[in-house]
Amino acid sequence: MEPVYKRVLIKISGEALAGDKKTGFDFDFVSRVCETVKACTAAGAQVGIVIGGGNFWRGVKDGAGKVERVSADRMGMLATAMNCLAVCDVFRQLGCDARVMTAVDIQGVGERYDTRRSIEYLEKGSVVLFACGTGQPFFSTDTAAVLRAAEIHADAILLAKNIDGVYSADPRTDPTAVKFDEISYDEVLARRLAVMDSTATSLAMDNDIPVIVFALAEPENITRVLCGEKIGTTVK
């Protein structure tokens, strides 16, 4: 394996960790993801990870009109922390050093996020899991992923989703939807394509970080993308 990207930020949806159960964890699948990432680090790649919290809580969507937006977003941050703790332990059981860094102070859960220290961990071969989003409400974990990618000077963002790329429309409801091999940030924003939210897309564009969207259903796709194989959709 010869990675074409030295340092990457992988964004994984919380729902992907749950598998068919939709909530909680499918640890067989989580283990496959961690084994793949471990192989990438063994090949010399530096990997940071941001995980969504949708397998436990989806913010205002789950609030049913009873939970105010700020509280709902903070609950989502806690869900990402739970995911990072679980995935971190799977990495460690596989013999791969991993660290949880949190955007908010949660004593005993993880180390408070610090850009310089996170880069030091990456350079030593540790996988760094960034928990609690940006630490602020009203920002998604997509935005957190781009923010951390910019801060650690990542060469690319690997957006591992439940869909295999970016389409002109939702392929689940529109049989005429066309998949893009490559698309610009400007076109994503102009067409309002559901890649990331507009804040995350604008931040990636402003910092000139390519975003590669691909399906996580086969965790080995992480390796394929890291080695430069053209799968999914590249947004740049």
Question: What dotted CATH number matches 7-235?
Answer: 3.40.1160.10
Residue 181's pLDDT is 94
User: Residues 10-21: what's their mean pLDDT?
Assistant: 90
CA pair distance 33, 28, nearest whole angstrom:
9
pLDDT tens by residue, 196-220: 999 999 999 999 999 999 999 999 9
Q: Tokens 């993801």, residue? A: 33
Phi, psi (degrees; rounded to nearest 5) at 5: -110, 125
Q: Please determine, for residue 112, whether its predicted confidence score (pLDDT) is greater than 90.
A: yes
What is the reported pTM?
A: 0.94
What is the distance between the alpha carbons of residues 200 and 216, in angstroms, rounded to a whole number?
20
pLDDT above 90 as % of the chain: 83
Q: Mean of the per-residue pLDDT values for the chain?
A: 94
Q: What is the dihedral of CA 106, 111, 116, 120, to 10 degrees?
A: -160
